[in-house]
Structure 1
Amino acid sequence: MTKALERRAKLRTDLIQTAERMIAERGLAGLKTRDLARAIGCANGAVYNLVTDVDELVLRVGSRTLLRLDEALSTAESTGEPSPRETLVRIAIAYCDFAAENLELWRALFEHRMAADKILPDWSVNDQLQLFRHIYHPLALLFPKRSQEDLGITARSLFSAVHGMVALGLEQKLVAVPLPALRKEIADLVRAMIDGLVARTE
């Protein structure tokens, strides 16, 4: 690799890491290319030589966030009681804890909106979809007769329920719920949903 390519690669890494810190501190709305350029020591326009546009930059930061979330969920999945039901509870609580500890970066995953005519890159779609395996695998053990399509729908429904509780519970408004109480409510919700689904198959 030439020195020019090495410098570009380093600047690109610096840009993504700086954007990550900026979002963590200011939220997605606080991400400014002028501030980013100043922080990494390049011209404002040079930012777009490192990434295609702000959308790509936010998605690259999002991929780093999803990777850390994946690690947190993997740890939760492999630690504790091995029953699929309790594994799903641990995964849900780990998701809640990750969101609370990385609030602005987690929010940015859902707040970022691309133009309607722009297509989400395959690498970004894959980064998102692979996380569903943490929910899918325990569900497949609980419901071995269900089709892959049905398991996928159940996995997304379970995620939506937990995500909704986390999103509302962590709001810094009247609907906010203290984290210990939120963790308990999420555990109760997941157990109730799983017990209800199991009862329907008996």
Structure 2
Amino acid sequence: MADSTYHHGNLRESLINLGIAHLDEKGAENISLRALAREIGVSQTAPYRHFEDKNQLLSAIAINGFDIMAHSISDAITDLDDQPPKYLKAMARSYILFSLENTEVFKLMFGPILGDRKSYPELLAAGQRSFKLIEKSLQTGVDTGIFSIEDITITANSVWASIHGVASLMQDRFDRFPDASGDKQIDSMFDILLNGICSK
């Protein structure tokens, strides 16, 4: 059945949107550009004007995921720039909620399917934009005397690893968490982290 959202000129967007649906239903390994073309109702060669192969489509889906997650995080941290601890907690909640609502896209964004991110510079840049939000908040904390940190990047790696670890565990070992949102775990995680980086 043709994709009713397809109109001339937005085939790329339609391929990404339908690709996300196929990702959720079938997994990345079973996505086919030709199958997507048939479902949308265009020639089987039409997708190749936008994506040279399936991995290029998967990269675009991952970039789209990073963009959506970044918007969600930006909404969550509005007016919290000058409150680094609250900023980091709000960002973590938004990050984890996105991972739970977009499980397959999240795994594509961070997993091994696409291999070396250096082959996908736009995807690499999209991931770095999200990481910069952590560094920005840590730097604000240092500048205002809230945090005592010697190396912003190393600390940001540790913070991100904690957030990402909780997100991944909530996907794969949901039985380990007392509630669907994981708020108690997030608060506890940040209490532990903040005890280590806050000025005494």
TM-score class normalised by the smaller sequence: 0.7 to 0.9
TM-score, normalization by structure 2: 0.81
Q: Is the 8 A contact 1:37 1:44 kept in 2?
A: yes
C-alpha change, 1:59 and 1:81, in structure 2 (3 Å) is closer
By how many angstroms is 1:33 displaced? 2.6
How many aligned positions are there? 191
Alignment of 1:101-116 (within 5 A): 101-114=101-114
C-alpha change, 1:122 and 1:42, in structure 2 (3 Å) is same
**Residue in 2 that maps onto 1:154:** 155
* Structure 1 ranges of 4+ moved more than 4 A: 79-82, 173-176
Over residues 131-165 of structure 1, what are the superposed CA-to-partner deviations in whole Å (9 max), with x where a residue is unaligned? 1122112211222389x992122112211111112
Gaps (5+ residues) in structure 1?
Answer: 1-5
Q: Distance in 1 between matches of 2:16 and 2:139?
A: 37
**Residue in 1 that maps onto 2:3:** none
RMSD: 2.9
**Residue in 2 that maps onto 1:141:** 140
Over residues 17-50 of structure 1, what are the superposed CA-to-partner deviations in whole Å (9 max), with x where a residue is unaligned? 2112222333323423332121122333443232
TM-score, normalization by structure 1: 0.80
By how many angstroms is 1:57 displaced? 0.5
Quick check: which one's helix share is greater? Answer: 1
**Residue in 2 that maps onto 1:99:** 99
By how many angstroms is 1:98 displaced? 1.0
Over residues 34-69 of structure 1, what are the superposed CA-to-partner deviations in whole Å (9 max), with x where a residue is unaligned? 321211223334432321111111111111111110
Q: Is the 8 A contact 1:12 1:50 kept in 2?
A: yes
Q: Distance in 1 between matches of 2:121 and 2:150?
A: 21
**Residue in 2 that maps onto 1:3:** none
Gaps (5+ residues) in structure 2?
Answer: 1-6
By how many angstroms is 1:83 displaced? 1.9
Q: Distance in 2 between matches of 1:76 and 1:174?
A: 23
Q: Distance in 2 between matches of 1:79 and 1:30?
A: 43
**Residue in 1 that maps onto 2:4:** none
1:160 aligned partner, one-letter code: A
Alignment of 1:181-196 (within 5 A): 182-196=182-196
Alignment of 1:45-194 (within 5 A): 45-78=45-78, 83-114=83-114, 119-144=118-143, 150-171=151-172, 176-180=176-180, 182-194=182-194
Q: Distance in 1 between matches of 2:100 and 2:79?
A: 20
Q: Is the 8 A contact 1:169 1:178 kept in 2?
A: no
